[in-house]
Amino acid sequence: MKQTPLAELSKRHYRQLLIISELYRQQREMMEKKTHIVADRIVSIEQPHVRPMVRGKAGANVVFGAKIAVSLVNGYAWIETAQWDSFNEATTLQASVEAYRQRFGYYPVVILADKIYRSRDNLNYCSGPKFGRPSKEQSEVAERRQERQDAVLSNAIEGKFREGKCKLGLGRISARGAETSLTVIVLQFLVMNLERRLRFSFCFSSDCSVSETYVGRRME
């Protein structure tokens, strides 16, 4: 069988050859070690940057795509972290809050986040007086009432993701390149923010005022 010199391969074919070689190495390593886990596992030759992420949810146990951490401030979405490798969302909370302070010059009045963000380290971080944590004398009834109110406010970030997926195709990114795909995601959030700005552009300032609220959320 005649072999083709590497110099005659196109740039695309040479890239695919390198990816296939690494894919073979990973599969062989998993077979020899009798495991299904390997670092930087490749699941797509065309998109080797995509990683499988286990969510453990019904109907979508494993998902593929970028993972981003998003904060919502007064209805406007801020992408705090965006990458292809899986990460622990709880580790992004403190950096996101400090980024909020750098943007606006002060800490948020309220921080709302999923339970996965409520690690011991983050709870200790948020227990200082700068975030206005309720005092110990506050009754349990008042605490439960506050939790229900916070849960209602945190639904806004869920709605933001539904808006992106239903109106802008956030759940179906057609771009193939790693940087290009992240750029498309950023542009979609930019469009959502511009649409919100447009909706309120003709409102009186008194009608559009919203309390300072920070909501953290992840997307896979």
Give the pLDDT band of residue 212 (cuts 50, 70, 90).
very low
Answer whether residue 143 shows pLDDT above 90: no
Residue whose structure tokens are 């699941």: 43
Look at residue 48 and tell me if it is in a domain. Answer: no
Answer whether residue 146 shows pLDDT above 80: no
Do 178 and 137 lie in a common domain? yes
- What are the residues whose beta carbons fall under 8 Å from the beta carbon of 176, sequence distance 6 or more? 46, 47
Look at residue 58 and tell me if it is in a domain. Answer: no
Domain housing 69: 63-202+211-219
pLDDT cut 90: percent of the chain above it: 19
Q: Please state the three-class secondary structure of 122-164 as a single string.
A: HHHHCCCHHHCCCCCCCCHHHHHHHHHHHHHHHHHHHHHHHHH
**Which of the two residues, 178 and 143, has the higher pLDDT score?**
178
Measured in whole angstroms, how far is the alpha carbon of residue 91 from the centre of its chain?
12
- Its pTM stands at 0.74
Work out the average pLDDT over 17-33.
Answer: 94
Do 29 and 78 lie in a common domain? no
How many domains are there within the chain? Answer: 2
pLDDT 10s digits, 147-187? 666 666 667 777 888 888 888 888 888 888 889 999 999 99
Do 67 and 174 lie in a common domain? yes
Look at residue 49 and tell me if it is in a domain. Answer: no
Measured in whole angstroms, how far is the alpha carbon of residue 197 from the centre of its chain?
22
pLDDT 10s digits, 83-136? 898 888 888 888 989 999 999 898 887 787 777 888 888 888 887 655 555 555
Q: What confidence score (pLDDT) does residue 158 get?
A: 79
Do 73 and 33 lie in a common domain? no
Phi-psi region at 14: left, alpha or beta (left = phi > 0; alpha = psi -120 to 50) = alpha
Q: What confidence score (pLDDT) does residue 209 get?
A: 44
Look at residue 1 and tell me if it is in a domain. Answer: no
